[in-house]
Amino acid sequence: MYAMEKIVPSYIEEYLRELIPQRDEFLSLLEAEAADTATYAPIIEPEVANLLSVLIKIHRPKRILELGTAIGYSAIVMAKAMGDGEIVTVERYDRMYERAICNIRRAGLSRVIKPVLDEAENALTWLDGGFDMIFLDSAKGQYLEFLPECMRLLKVGGILVSDDVLYKGEVTDEVGTEKRKVTIVKRLREYLKFISDCDFLRTSVLPIGNGVAISYKEKDYEKN
Helix pair 73-82, 94-106: axis angle to 10 deg = 40
1: pLDDT strictly greater than 60: no
- Please report which confidence band the pLDDT of residue 60 belongs to, taking 50, 70 and 90 as the band edges: very high
What DSSP string describes 23-80? PPHHHHHHHHHHHSTTS------HHHHHHHHHHHHHH--SEEEEE--TTSHHHHHHHH
Domain ranges of the chain: 10-217
Alpha helices in the chain, H assignment, sequence order = 10-19, 25-35, 46-59, 73-82, 94-106, 120-126, 143-153, 182-197
Give pairs for 4-8: CB < 8 Å, separation 24+.
4/45, 4/168, 4/169, 4/208, 4/209, 4/210, 5/169, 6/168, 6/169, 6/170, 6/172, 6/173, 7/166, 7/168, 7/169, 7/207, 7/208, 7/209, 7/210, 7/211, 8/207, 8/208
Task: Domain 10-217: give its CATH superfamily.
Answer: Vaccinia Virus protein VP39 (3.40.50.150)
Q: Render pLDDT for 153-185 as a digit per residue (tens, 0 to 9).
A: 999 999 999 999 998 788 877 655 666 678 899
Taking only the tens place, the pLDDT of each residue in 85-108 is 999 999 999 999 999 999 999 999
Number of neighbours of residue 214 by Cβ within 10 angstroms = 17
Of these ranges, 2-16, 22-36, 107-121, 165-179, the one predicted with the greatest mean pLDDT is 107-121
